[in-house]
Amino acid sequence: MSKEKHSAGRIKSRLGTEFILSVFGALILSCGLFFVLYLCGAKTVTWYSRTVYLNGKLEQVADYVESSKMSTEDMSSLSKWINRNDIKILRVFVDSERVFNSDDPAENSISYDESENNYYWNSTEVRFTDNVASVWVAVGRYDRLDLIFTLISAVVALLFFAFLIYWFMHGRISYINALSSEVTEIENGMLEKAVTVKGTDEIAELAQSVEDLRVSFIDKLNSEKEAYAANRELIAAMSHDLRTPLSALIGYLEIIESSKYSKPEQKDEYIKKCLDKSYQIKSMSDKLFEYFTAFKNPEQREGMGVEMYEDGFQLLAQMISENVYALEDKGYIFETDNLYDETYNKFAIETDTDMLCRVFDNIFSNIQKYADKAKPIRISITDDEKFASVSVSNYVNREALKTASTKIGLKSCRRILAKTGGVLTTKTEEGIFTITVKLKKSNGAVKK
């Protein structure tokens, strides 16, 4: 048997057991109530039969004798009247002598027999036409009232039983109605409110299942929203990264077209740079899906062409120089602390050259957009125990800042560097914007 079937059987067994125990308990309490009400009713009927009912019969006898003008010598009609009026025994005494006995007319003894113990007795003085006699009347239990009290006790006990069952089921019915309302709210898209889970019974388990479903659905919606946002960010970042080398390519081609070079060798150099930028754009287009990994976990490195370079300084200097030459032709001023220093300390770095090229393209593209062209741009390369760092500082052009930046390029650079264990930091102080690229140094095997 599967786990689900076993759980369903356990739930049904629990529900049936609770219901049977509830019915059994309600039945016991109802029977107890019926017994108490029946005893109270029986005592009430006894009291009523012995007093009110018996006294009423005595008054009826007196009225009948007086209205019939009956004498103690002729009481023949009294026997018939007794039978019609539910009187068990009637005895008439004159001066302590019994002159009439309905149960045994031939009996002249004043002694009581055993039948007298089964009835309720009382007497009164009745005036006959010829004498005043003492009339004793015996009545039985008032059976009609006894039946009424028994029926009332039974009805009250049944109503009490129904109330107990309702009281037991009311909490669950109310809980089910509340769950129904909450499920309707979820159906209408109101997912913020948690489903109420009360108790440990099968209804609570059902509510917990609905709550788990709600949480799972919210997680799925959030995942879809994150995926949608990541796709939008990917498209924006890819468009930005493609536009940056494309702008450089157009700039080189404009220089060649307008012959803004002093030596023929420079033309060949610009043509080579145009070809390099074209290959870079092609590579970026081919690696669209690889680029998407930049928006995943930064610890993952699948799809990255990570290599270790023994002379990291030379690699960084070469990449920076290519961008510096292009901007110097456009009138930008650069101050490099050690970019062309042949006595630099050699260090190994671990990076992906294609990704690193895109990082520097973004940095120098931002320089064209936001740097003050009239003031120098400072570039330096340093290293410490863990990282090799490239810092680029420029004065901010106040007019350029009026155009809002999406900062997509910086976000893309951070994620690209994070894929290879690198870090990108920025700061603005006294109108100077500084961006620092930190690349992880490597002590492993060199691959160049």
Q: Which of 34-38, 41-45, 239-243, 350-354 has the lowest mean pLDDT?
A: 239-243
Q: Identify the CA nearest to 316 among candidates 290, 282, 343, 350.
A: 350
Per-residue tokens: 329: 């032709």
Report the pLDDT averaged over residues 37-41: 92
Q: From the CB of residue 306, how many other CB atoms can be counted at a distance below 10 Å?
A: 16
Q: pLDDT tens digits for 129-152?
A: 888 999 998 888 888 888 998 999
Domains in the chain with CATH codes: 3-145 (no CATH), 231-440 (3.30.565.10)
Report the pLDDT averaged over residues 433-442: 89
Q: For residue 94, what is the enclosing H or E element?
A: strand 89-94
pLDDT at residue number 407: 64
Spatial separation of the C-alpha atoms in residues 131 and 321, rounded to whole Å:
153
Q: pLDDT tens digits for 93-126?
A: 988 888 888 876 454 444 455 455 678 888 899 9
Is the per-residue pLDDT at 348 higher than 60? Answer: yes
Q: Identify the CA nearest to 240 among candidates 366, 99, 349.
A: 366
This prediction's pTM: 0.41
